[in-house]
Chain A
């Protein structure tokens, strides 16, 4: 059993978020292509994206992208910076900190309309 610690978790999370984002990407490109058939169909599909339930999915998606991007920067640093490997755990801690800093206000902004009277 490989005991890679935090770095191993980051490795799996990076792959998991990557595949997840790719699946979303496929669906998203398809839904955008639907504009070809005019406003009716397209707006109908978008209405699904705008439901309160989907806001949660939206938040999860943004979280996945943010983590994947931040950890991706870490990977590039490890690959191209001489001291990258030496500092990889520290870099991961920076990734987690940056993720939290970005996602807490984002979650607040995204979820707030769900609790307001007017709704989203």
Chain B
């Protein structure tokens, strides 16, 4: 449990907030490169109107693009879940509701990470 002595210092047995703060910034810097790359490929080199199954299948014929997308998936989810956790901590004041919301958040993130990674691993073009 975090302690807030009157001198403004903070003591906590858990370093969760510290790591959350740090990982936000680390993932942010990584994302600057990954998201920029993703947007350039999807919206500038190509165009949304060109995106379809064939386009994705072609991209994922290269393991490098699968790897890139995997990094993108993991890093955006981590950055996002940390961010939304911080925001919900600030605005969902009722403890029980906050636990429920944040648990749901973690579950959704894990499900998306697992399903997204699975498809990157086992997708094979058909049709």
Contacts and interface: CB of A to CB of B under 8 A. Distances in A.
A69 B54 contact: no
A62 B43 contact: yes
A35 interface: yes
Interface in B1-54: 25, 28-29, 31-32, 35-36, 39, 43, 47-49, 51-54
A42 B56 contact: yes
Interface residues of B, number: 34
B102 to A, nearest CB: 13
What interface size band does chain A fall in? 35 or more
Contacts of B56: 32, 35, 42
Interface in A3-21: 15, 18-19, 21
A76 to B, nearest CB: 6
Interface of B: 25, 28-29, 31-32, 35-36, 39, 43, 47-49, 51-54, 56-57, 73, 76-77, 80-81, 83-84, 87, 108, 112, 115-116, 119, 123, 126-127
Given A29-B115, A36-B123, 18 more contacts: A18-B87, A22-B83, A29-B77, A30-B112, A35-B53, A35-B56, A38-B126, A39-B54, A39-B126, A42-B52, A42-B56, A43-B52, A46-B52, A50-B51, A69-B35, A72-B28, A76-B29, A120-B47
Interface of A: 15, 18-19, 21-22, 25-26, 29-30, 32-33, 35-36, 38-40, 42-43, 46, 49-50, 55, 58, 62, 65, 69, 72-73, 75-76, 79-80, 110, 113, 120
28 contacts: A15-B83, A15-B87, A18-B80, A22-B83, A22-B84, A26-B108, A26-B112, A29-B73, A29-B77, A32-B119, A33-B119, A39-B53, A39-B126, A39-B127, A42-B52, A49-B51, A50-B49, A58-B43, A62-B39, A62-B43, A65-B35, A65-B39, A69-B32, A69-B35, A69-B36, A72-B32, A76-B25, A120-B47
